[in-house]
Amino acid sequence: MRRARLVRLLACVLGLFAAGGAQAQESGEHQLTLYSRAGALVYLSDARTTGGMGAGVGLRDTLRERFILQADLSYLMMMGNVGTLRLGAGVQRRGTYTPAVLLTLTTFFGDRLAFLTPEHPTPVRSPAMALGVSVAPVRFTHQGLQLSLLELGIGVGSDLPGLGLSYQLGLLEIGTTF
């Protein structure tokens, strides 16, 4: 009985997503997509370490089925409570199989592990920021639904004096156009 209800609920939700996606396909140049994501982000430098694993939500504008502008917020845990704001711009392939490459700017705020070194005798208090590149090779779009099963990214940030590296692993991203 419970299983049947769950199947009916899932069918209704998928039906609503498909209807919204079909409407967006007819609208032309811009497609707005609301998406949720799960994965890991970490920022490492001589002065601090921050990040973790978690989930987030975002908004993406796809121009002419090719160019991407997006912003997302994520909550990460395992190294405390960390929030990230990620802004991205890039390009994707047209069609059903839509791998993408993005230039991203990621800001990490919240808890962190701070390390005192001769170059950093006091903890760095500002949010960590990294400029990087993300690649989503396993990404699909069909009738307004988007699914990405893998996203890899690397970035560089500045903890003057010195640099920090940012690593990103996206495990799942699901979105629908509206």
**59-112 pLDDT, tens per residue?**
999 999 999 999 999 999 998 999 999 999 999 999 999 999 999 999 999 999
Q: State how far the alpha carbon of 37 is from the alpha carbons of 44, 75, 109, 114, in Å.
A: 22, 10, 18, 28
**What SS3 class is residue 98?**
coil
- Tokens, residue 127: 């949010």
Domain ranges of the chain: 2-177
pLDDT-derived band at 46, boundaries 50, 70, 90? very high
CA nearest neighbour of 103 among 128, 68, 150: 68
Q: What is the pLDDT of residue 17?
A: 42
- CATH code, residues 2-177: 2.40.160.20
Average pLDDT of the chain is 88
- Residue 24 — pLDDT band, cuts 50, 70, 90? very low
Higher-confidence residue of 53 and 1: namely 53
Give residue-wise pLDDT tens across range 125-163: 899 999 999 999 999 999 999 999 999 999 999 988 889
**pTM, full prediction:** 0.82
φ/ψ (deg, to 5) at 144? 85, -5
Whether the pLDDT of residue 45 is over 90: the answer is yes
Tokens representing 51? 């990040």
Q: What percent of the chain has pLDDT over 70?
A: 84
- Tell me the C-alpha distance between 24 and 161, whole Å: 48
pLDDT of residue 119: 87
